[in-house]
Chains A and B, each alone.
Chain A
């Protein structure tokens, strides 16, 4: 960005920390962008004429006589149809060698949707994965993260979901993505011939961590353009939100804020909510659905990041390796989609809620039978049947390699129930039993 002739250049930096610089300046607006020796920075504090800047690229090598110019605007993105198919860095500059985007310049992190102007989400998103469609059905306008340990194949599952979801646009916000994962996404989308539907904002592990803070807002500003202006259904993928939160804690630490739980800033909940709540179903037909990844350490969901996330998002998806069948499954106990009630049994067949609950309850019985077995107790005949059921249920329905329609999932569910249990053991409403219980089981 070339400095314009009339812009005032400040050259007296009074204080430098690892992430911030302070200088004397007047007439500066809060949140305004600045450039300090060519690096982008943003105003985070003004006391009298002392202006504190958060320097996205870090302050290594910034001298006290650095040249500072203020840009008179907050971080923004140029939006237009030209975004489709392109790859950008955290500042919205192309990294794919293509030309700069022409279009309307929009400030990122814009206002919230008036709650009374939202529409209740009601469109089912089919992924073919029964662990999701049957037990944790996704709905457009929903926000839901994968809670996964770093070694689990969450990026693969997410890419698969994105491609099957039939969204008009897929927007990838990569934060602290390894270069390998970045190339993985690029290849998968390219091979599927979907590249023209994808917009990517990527901050890799090679870039400074504080830059990540811009990625979700960039991705969501692009999403709002397609959802509001074009009435498109937009799917936003954010990976990995744990690294985003880590960047938040770095900044708040440098600004001497008192940390709350797990050394996260006290505002973590609001900071995350501001991002996730951009998921919305607009009355005009456009929608923004957010699927995110929150990596856990050792499956601990009580850590401040997954904990706050869980309170904000509409459910969470857990991946787990099931050693009995040797496959990665969507864990039915810890996963949840809060919006599934809006579509199951309504957009899907009437027996969906009851089949889902019955199967999970019996799967829970299998889990207790397994504990019994491990503790060296004898199993009853019923326990044995639950274990047999659990194995088939895990293999035929929960595994992430399943790819079938919801009606077929329900039929499979009834088949498994009928094969292993007596009618009175499944606790399903009589009316549905009469209709769907397999006759010659």
Chain B
């Protein structure tokens, strides 16, 4: 008989429950009000009183209403059929809910029990296995979905039997394992795992080193992210966080993309629902939706489930990583999650930290980012979870607690800048303040030397120096006036503008320019660096700006044209002529 309880106090979604038996921290319970069960999580216990955060509105809840504890933490259900699903923060399948409006207490099955999957065994009778080892696989939207030894299994097991290849439903028994004591355990294609615990069933987690292509030049070329890496994008509203996130999730060279829409606008999720089923995955030619999982807890959905939503998304990501897949997880935005923590901590009357956030905020964030990573599985294969979170700093001030805590743990920092956005210089990532720590990893240097060439990183560093010097000159011109500085200064400034307009800026709404494959990025970088290395001759500063505008215009037309087509070459030819006009022989 599980623990029962009675409601004793209600303040918004914080409810005090008097329990008649043992209660665990983070245990899930259901509050029964007028025929509806409301899901809640224990967040504090004091004597017989459990303080629970309810994942729904508590309207109409009464003192004395009964409560049923479940004996487990918040769990997700893992198995084939997760891809292209739209979940809420608690992994309810949103498409299975009736009606236009969300109903309180409407919990739906995350998987489809009746779908038949074409199962192929990978393990055989007599094999010794442990948690996360592959027993078989099914084809899920063109990806090999491995059926694994459940993560909760501890120690070594021996495979007694695995079913033959054929069609099975997810709840069919596909293998029988025997533990060290000779006890038999049935395994189906479904398993459960508590979201707040990291899945660590892998052999080792080395430093990540492989480039993860995103097709966004200012990321791949300037501050690259790697498979299993972590990054974050802080920016005031209106600087293009969402457009950038969508671009990355469309184009990134990942097997699986998990999008956690955490406390953001519902219409942004609708954009994904509407567009992804139509758009092609640039890497496989299948539809984008087929590799995508959406966990949507938009800003008007229950606040407490917001926290759960990022954990749910991360657990799904780790599950696919264990199959040896490249997973990219995006969370928009981690600030909303932090705010949900703040609302709860406030109702619990905890002593607040900075800006009324809970004291352990930075530990919570660090712990979460640590779940990303590149891993070698027990069978020697590799898998990765790359995590990119956005941060919405209050008032655009990067000195606020969420940004600062995130900066300590994320290895890539993409600072969106208001003034760049105002000048329509999109993506508005400030190239000088942003960084990728991976550029300093010798492992990455070695990898990129093989992939592109050993001069690549030196080139990038030189480009950053040119940008920095361009910025310095621009400040000097602002103080001294156009004719207060030598003509060479103008040339220096305009060379940095060429980099800005041609490499950094990218039109996310143009069919061609939106996605630049690495080979093309390399070509354009060489082209632009060639111009930066060229000496030009001008009589006065008046000529410099208008000349470089022509150069930029031609390079941009190249960006808008399909790579290496006649059109592209025509603009390149024109560009070469323009360069020869002023080139010092």
Within 8 A of A (CB), among B332-383: 336, 339-340, 342-343, 346, 352, 355-356
CB B478 to nearest CB in A, in angstroms, measures 8
Q: Which of B61, B101, B356, B422 contacts A29 (CB 8 A)?
A: B61
CB B9 to nearest CB in A, in angstroms, measures 4
Q: Does B451 contact A (CB under 8 A)?
A: no
Q: Which of B102, B392, B545 contacts A111 (CB 8 A)?
A: B102
CA A370 to CA B263, docked complex, whole Å? 41
- By the criterion CB–CB under 8 Å, are A378 and B483 in contact? yes
- By the criterion CB–CB under 8 Å, are A427 and B266 in contact? no
Q: Does A38 contact B (CB under 8 A)?
A: no
Q: With A46-B10, A311-B237, A341-B509 as given contacts, are A116 and B553 in contact (CB-CB < 8 Å)?
A: no
- Please name all residues of chain A whose beta carbon is closer than 8 Å to the beta carbon of B61 when the two chains form the complex: 29-30
- By the criterion CB–CB under 8 Å, are B546 and A302 in contact? no
Q: Does A18 contact B (CB under 8 A)?
A: no
Q: Does A312 contact B (CB under 8 A)?
A: yes
- Please name all residues of chain B whose beta carbon is closer than 8 Å to the beta carbon of A303 when the two chains form the complex: 395
Q: Which of B300, B392, B394, B553 contacts A112 (CB 8 A)?
A: B300
Q: Does B99 contact A (CB under 8 A)?
A: yes
- By the criterion CB–CB under 8 Å, are B343 and A116 in contact? no
- By the criterion CB–CB under 8 Å, are B423 and A361 in contact? yes
Q: Does A430 contact B (CB under 8 A)?
A: yes
CA A270 to CA B347, docked complex, whole Å? 15
Within 8 A of A (CB), among B527-571: 542, 545-546, 549-550, 552-553, 556-557, 560
- By the criterion CB–CB under 8 Å, are B104 and A28 in contact? no
- By the criterion CB–CB under 8 Å, are B346 and A257 in contact? yes
- Please name all residues of chain B whose beta carbon is closer than 8 Å to the beta carbon of A427 when the two chains form the complex: 549, 552-553, 556
- Please name all residues of chain A whose beta carbon is closer than 8 Å to the beta carbon of B237 when the two chains form the complex: 307, 310-311
In the complex, per-residue mask of B264-280: 1 if CB is within 8 Å of any chain A CB, else 0? 01110111011000000
- By the criterion CB–CB under 8 Å, are B343 and A111 in contact? no
CA A307 to CA B392, docked complex, whole Å? 10
In the complex, per-residue mask of B218-259: 1 if CB is within 8 Å of any chain A CB, else 0? 000000000000000000111000100000000000000000
- Please name all residues of chain A whose beta carbon is closer than 8 Å to the beta carbon of B270 when the two chains form the complex: 115, 118-120
CB B90 to nearest CB in A, in angstroms, measures 14
Within 8 A of B (CB), among A366-385: 371-372, 375, 377-378, 380-382
- By the criterion CB–CB under 8 Å, are A113 and B238 in contact? no
- Please name all residues of chain B whose beta carbon is closer than 8 Å to the beta carbon of A301 when the two chains form the complex: 395
In the complex, per-residue mask of B405-447: 1 if CB is within 8 Å of any chain A CB, else 0? 0000000000000000011100000000000000000000000
- Please name all residues of chain B whose beta carbon is closer than 8 Å to the beta carbon of A46 when the two chains form the complex: 9-11, 63
CB A230 to nearest CB in B, in angstroms, measures 14
- By the criterion CB–CB under 8 Å, are A270 and B266 in contact? no
Q: With A114-B94, A270-B339 as given contacts, are A29 and B266 in contact (CB-CB < 8 Å)?
A: no
CB B580 to nearest CB in A, in angstroms, measures 17
- By the criterion CB–CB under 8 Å, are B273 and A116 in contact? yes
CA A353 to CA B16, docked complex, whole Å? 55
Q: Does B58 contact A (CB under 8 A)?
A: yes
Q: Does B189 contact A (CB under 8 A)?
A: no
- Please name all residues of chain B whose beta carbon is closer than 8 Å to the beta carbon of A257 when the two chains form the complex: 346
- By the criterion CB–CB under 8 Å, are B60 and A277 in contact? no
In the complex, per-residue mask of A65-81: 1 if CB is within 8 Å of any chain B CB, else 0? 00000000010000000
Q: Does B143 contact A (CB under 8 A)?
A: no
Residue of A nearest to B297 (CB): A115
In the complex, per-residue mask of A257-290: 1 if CB is within 8 Å of any chain B CB, else 0? 1111100001101100110011010100000000
- By the criterion CB–CB under 8 Å, are B11 and A113 in contact? no
- By the criterion CB–CB under 8 Å, are B274 and A120 in contact? yes
Q: Which of A26, A115, A339 contacts B269 (CB 8 A)?
A: A115
- By the criterion CB–CB under 8 Å, are A74 and B101 in contact? no
Q: Which of B58, B298, B423 contacts A30 (CB 8 A)?
A: B58
CB B314 to nearest CB in A, in angstroms, measures 20
- By the criterion CB–CB under 8 Å, are B396 and A302 in contact? yes
- By the criterion CB–CB under 8 Å, are B553 and A380 in contact? no
Q: Does A97 contact B (CB under 8 A)?
A: no
In the complex, per-residue mask of A24-37: 1 if CB is within 8 Å of any chain B CB, else 0? 00111111100000
- Please name all residues of chain A whose beta carbon is closer than 8 Å to the beta carbon of B284 when the two chains form the complex: none
Q: Does A95 contact B (CB under 8 A)?
A: no
Within 8 A of B (CB), among A114-161: 114-121, 141-142
Q: Does A425 contact B (CB under 8 A)?
A: yes
Q: Does A9 contact B (CB under 8 A)?
A: no
- By the criterion CB–CB under 8 Å, are B424 and A357 in contact? yes
- By the criterion CB–CB under 8 Å, are A314 and B265 in contact? yes
CA A336 to CA B240, docked complex, whole Å? 11
Q: 28 interchain pairs (CB within 8 A)?
A: A29-B61, A44-B12, A45-B10, A46-B11, A48-B8, A113-B102, A115-B86, A115-B266, A115-B269, A120-B270, A266-B339, A266-B342, A266-B356, A267-B346, A270-B343, A273-B299, A312-B265, A341-B509, A361-B424, A364-B424, A372-B481, A375-B478, A375-B481, A377-B481, A377-B482, A378-B482, A424-B550, A425-B549
Interface residues of B (CB under 8 A from A): 8-12, 16, 57-64, 86, 94-95, 97, 99-104, 236-238, 242, 263, 265-267, 269-271, 273-274, 296, 298-301, 303, 336, 339-340, 342-343, 346, 352, 355-356, 392, 394-397, 422-424, 478, 481-483, 509, 542, 545-546, 549-550, 552-553, 556-557, 560
Interface residues of A (CB under 8 A from B): 26-32, 44-49, 74, 107, 110-121, 141-142, 228, 257-261, 266-267, 269-270, 273-274, 277-278, 280, 282, 301-304, 307-308, 310-312, 314-316, 333-334, 336, 338-339, 341, 353, 357, 360-361, 364, 371-372, 375, 377-378, 380-382, 424-425, 427, 429-430
Q: Which 9 pairs between the two chains have the least Cβ-Cβ distance?
A: A302-B395, A273-B299, A277-B300, A310-B237, A260-B356, A377-B481, A47-B9, A31-B59, A29-B60
Extra inter-chain contacts (12) besides given A112-B102, A380-B545, CB under 8 Å = A27-B62, A44-B12, A47-B11, A116-B273, A304-B394, A307-B237, A339-B267, A375-B481, A378-B481, A378-B482, A382-B546, A429-B560
